[in-house]
Amino acid sequence: MKRWTIVIAVSVLIIGAVLALPKAKAISSAPGKPDLIVDQKRLLQNWVVRDEKLSAAACSVQEGGVTPGEHTLLRFTVSTPNIGTADLVVGDPNIHFNNGDGLFEFASCHRHFHFRHYSLYELIDPATGHTWRAAKRGFCMIDIEKFQEYPGPANNARNYLACGAPATATEPAIVGNQGISVGWADTYVWQLAGQYFVLDGGDGQDPVPPGTYIIRVTVNPPFIAAPGEPCPFKDPAGFCHQLPELNYFNNVSEIQIDIPDHPGKQGVGPLKNQPQITAEPID
């Protein structure tokens, strides 16, 4: 099921103004803990380098500082299954945002909340170590698809389907219920807003020359908390993470790709025969 279909389907669930919401419960995982990974096979089979025209109205263009117009892009799909012993339970972002716990920020272009620091996308030159950032700026964690390689029960339930949105001047808030059920994956398909690297320097970064590169994706990435910044969970090495996990050391996947000189509109990569995107769906 596509992410934007789910968001529309749950938009009928509404509540009163955000200020009337109760205090948020802490992110929970009892009994057991979730364990997030990046599906390397999905990443390897779902990428393309090609020329595309980006609209000034696209949220990824606005949020990523991309100049509208035609650019050479590297698009890719990221899937982050939960292979742990418990659901990853986040809940309603309206409550978290109202409580100011730093987990969510409001994306004005998308008109809903994004979880901060859920996943890190990097394009790396293995010869020099130089790194480029992707256009994507925020995430909404919901159950998108079953992870077929999960060794647990085949009938495990799907529980998290709603990103949530704040109240407006004319509409009440939309209740969110974010998380990832055991055996399910939150998936960001390559067509979605921000699921790309700009290769020609159109986002203010250095252009990416033709050659061999690494796409590295890290889910629930480690960070060092700044003074006064919350450190919700720590791994055995002492680094902070936003989310609890059984294993913090299986959160990275990498693939190697070759970027050509002139990919053209058809492009290169496993998705080269897929049709051009006329408008980016919301994430």
Q: Which domain holds residue 87?
A: 3-19+27-259
pTM: 0.85
Residue 78 lies in a domain: yes
- Give the pLDDT score at 60: 81
- Give the pLDDT score at 230: 85
- Give the pLDDT score at 17: 37
Residue 120 lies in a domain: yes
123/134 Cα distance (integer angstroms): 8
Whether omega before 270 lies within 30 degrees of 0, making that bond cis, reads no
Q: pLDDT in tens for each of the 283 residues of the chain?
A: 545 444 434 333 333 333 344 444 445 444 699 999 999 999 999 999 999 999 888 888 887 789 999 999 999 999 999 999 999 999 999 999 988 888 888 887 767 788 878 999 999 999 999 999 998 878 889 999 999 888 777 678 899 999 888 888 888 999 999 999 999 999 999 998 889 999 999 999 999 999 999 999 999 999 998 888 888 999 999 999 999 999 999 999 999 999 999 898 889 999 998 887 766 665 5
- Give the pLDDT score at 117: 80
- C-alpha distances out from residue 179 to 26, 92, 142, 161, 163, Å: 13, 9, 5, 8, 9
The DSSP secondary structure of 25-83, one letter per residue, reads PPPB--SS---B---HHHHHHSEEEEEEEEPTT-HHHHHTTPPSEEEEEEEE-EEEEB-
Residue 273 lies in a domain: no
Residue 53 lies in a domain: yes
Residue 8 lies in a domain: yes
Beta strands at 184-188 and 145-146: parallel, antiparallel or unpaired: antiparallel
- Give the pLDDT score at 80: 98
Total domains, the chain: 1
Residue 265 lies in a domain: no
Residue 12 lies in a domain: yes
Residue 216 lies in a domain: yes
Which are the contacts of 180, defined by CB distance < 8 A and separation ≥ 6?
Answer: 34, 36, 80, 81, 82, 87, 88, 141, 142, 143, 160, 186
